[in-house]
Structure 1
Amino acid sequence: MIEQLSESIPIYIEQSGVIAPILFVLFHLIRPLLFLPVIFVCMVGGYLFGVIYGSIFSIIGLTLMCIIFYFIVRKFPNVLSRFEKMNNKMLKNRPLTMNQIMILRMVPFAHFHLLSLYVMEQTNSFKEYAKYSFLGVILPGVIFTSFGQMIIDLPLFYSIFLLLFLSVIFIGVRKRSIEKQKSIQWRKFFSVGE
C-alpha cells in the first residue's frame, strides 16, 4: 500500500500543473509517514522540476519539515523521549558539533529527525534552530536533487545502471547494519554468560 502510494504520488504531482510545487512540498512533509528517505523525495524533485527549482522546493519542504518537527517535539514529550533513546543507542551521549551535524545532513541514510534533534540541542531559541535547520538543508537539498536531474540527463542504459547500483548499495548497507546488530547482540549474549 505505502509502496504503491510512494510510486503514484510523483506521477500525480507531475500531472498537477500549476499546483505541482505545492504538492511537492507537501510530499516532503508526508515523507516520514511513508518511510521514504530524504534523498528519494529530493531526486523526485530533480526529476520533476530540474536542479534549480527542484532544489528550491526541496529546501522549502525540508525546512518546513524541520519546523514541524520542532513543534511536534515540544508538544508531545513522548516523541522527544523516543528520539533521545535512539540518540543514546547511536551516539552514547557524545555531543556533536554544528559542523558535524551539517556534514551528517549530506549522508543519504542519516536519520533526518535525529539530526534535527541534535540541532535543537545545539541552539537556544526557535529562531536559531530555524536558521541552522535552513542552512543545514541547503547543500543536501541541492546535491540530492541533482541526482534526480542527472538520471534524466543520462542515457537510459546508464540511468538504469545507476538506479540498480544505488539499490544494491542501499540493500548492502541495510544488510550490513542488520548483521552488525546481530553480531553485537551475539557478543552481548556471550559476555553475559561468562
Structure 2
Amino acid sequence: MIENLSEAIPVYIEQSGILAPILFVLLHLIRPLLFLPVIFVCMVGGYLFGVVYGSIFSIIGLTLMCIIFYFVAQKFPNLLSRFAKMNDNMLKKGPITMNQIMILRMVPFAHFHLLSLYVMQQTKSFKDYVKYSFLGIILPSIIFTSFGQMIIDLPLFYSVVLLVFLSVIFFGFRRKNSEKQTNIQWKKFFKASS
C-alpha cells in the first residue's frame, strides 16, 4: 500500500498544475500520518520542481510542520511522554547540543519530531524555536532535494563511510559535562563592548 502511495503522490502533484506547490507543502504536513520519510518527500520536490524550488517548498513545508508540532506538543503534553521515552534512551550520555541537532537533521533515519523536541527543550521561546528549526531545516532540505537519490543509491561501502563521517562530526560537537558553559545574550554582549 505504501509503495502504491509513494508512486501515486508524485504523479498526482505533477498533474495538479498551479496547485502543485500548495499540494506539495501540504504533503509535508500530512507526511507523518502517511509514514513517509522526510527524505522521500524532499526527493519528490526535487523531481517535480527542481533543486531550487523543491528546496524552497520543502523548507516551507518542514518549517510549518515544526510549528504545528510545537502547538500540538503544547496542547497535548501526553504526546510528549512517548517522545520522552525515546529522549531518555538518546540522552544517556548527556545532552546534545544545537550543533548536533543540526547534524542529525541531515541523517535520513533520524526521527524528525524527536529532533524538534530537542529544539523545544533547548530554546526559551516560540520565536527561538522557529528560528532554530528553520535554520536546522535549510541544509537537509537542499541536500535531500538535490542528492537524496544519490544517498539512497550509494553502494554499501560509501553509505558506511558517510555514516561514519556524520558520526565523527556528531560526537565532535558533544558537550563535555566537566566544562562550564557561559551563555551571553547577543544584545548584552554588544551593549557591554560598545
Give the TM-score category using the shorter length.
Answer: 0.7 to 0.9
Length-normalised TM-score, structure 2: 0.75
The one-letter code matched in structure 1 to 2:83 is F
Where do 4+ consecutive residues of structure 1 move more than 6 Å?
none
* 3-state SS of 1:21 partner: helix
Matched, 1:7 2:7: yes
> 1:35 is matched with which residue?
35
CA distance in 2, matches of 1:60, 1:29: 10
- Deviation sequence 1:126-162 (CA, Å, 0-9, x none): 01100100000000000100025xx6xxxxxxx8xx6
> 1:54 is matched with which residue?
54
CA distance in 2, matches of 1:93, 1:85: 15
> 1:192 is matched with which residue?
none
Kindly state the Cα deviation for residue 4 of structure 1 after the two structures are TM-superposed. Answer: 2.1
Matched, 1:80 2:80: yes
Verify the 8 A CA contact 1:6 1:34 in the aligned structure 2: no
CA distance in 2, matches of 1:94, 1:108: 23
Verify the 8 A CA contact 1:87 1:93 in the aligned structure 2: no
Kindly state the Cα deviation for residue 13 of structure 1 after the two structures are TM-superposed. Answer: 0.3
Question: Map of 1:125-164 to 2, 5 A cutoff?
Answer: 125-147=125-147, 163=153
> 1:65 is matched with which residue?
65
* 3-state SS of 2:110 partner: coil
Cα distance change of structure 1 residues 100 and 19 upon mapping to structure 2, 3 Å threshold: same
More helix per residue: 1 or 2?
1
Kindly state the Cα deviation for residue 100 of structure 1 after the two structures are TM-superposed. Answer: 0.8
Which blocks of at least 5 consecutive residues in structure 2 are unaligned?
A: 164-194
- Deviation sequence 1:39-82 (CA, Å, 0-9, x none): 11101100000000000000000000000000111111111111
The one-letter code matched in structure 2 to 1:10 is P
> 1:95 is matched with which residue?
95
Q: CA RMSD in A?
A: 2.1
Verify the 8 A CA contact 1:31 1:37 in the aligned structure 2: yes
Cα distance change of structure 1 residues 28 and 99 upon mapping to structure 2, 3 Å threshold: same
CA distance in 2, matches of 1:70, 1:117: 8
Verify the 8 A CA contact 1:13 1:23 in the aligned structure 2: yes
> 2:123 is matched with which residue?
123
The one-letter code matched in structure 2 to 1:102 is M
- Deviation sequence 1:14-48 (CA, Å, 0-9, x none): 11000000000011111111111111110110000
Cα distance change of structure 1 residues 145 and 12 upon mapping to structure 2, 3 Å threshold: same
Kindly state the Cα deviation for residue 93 of structure 1 after the two structures are TM-superposed. Answer: 6.8
- Aligned identity (percent) is 80
CA distance in 1, matches of 2:155, 2:7: 19
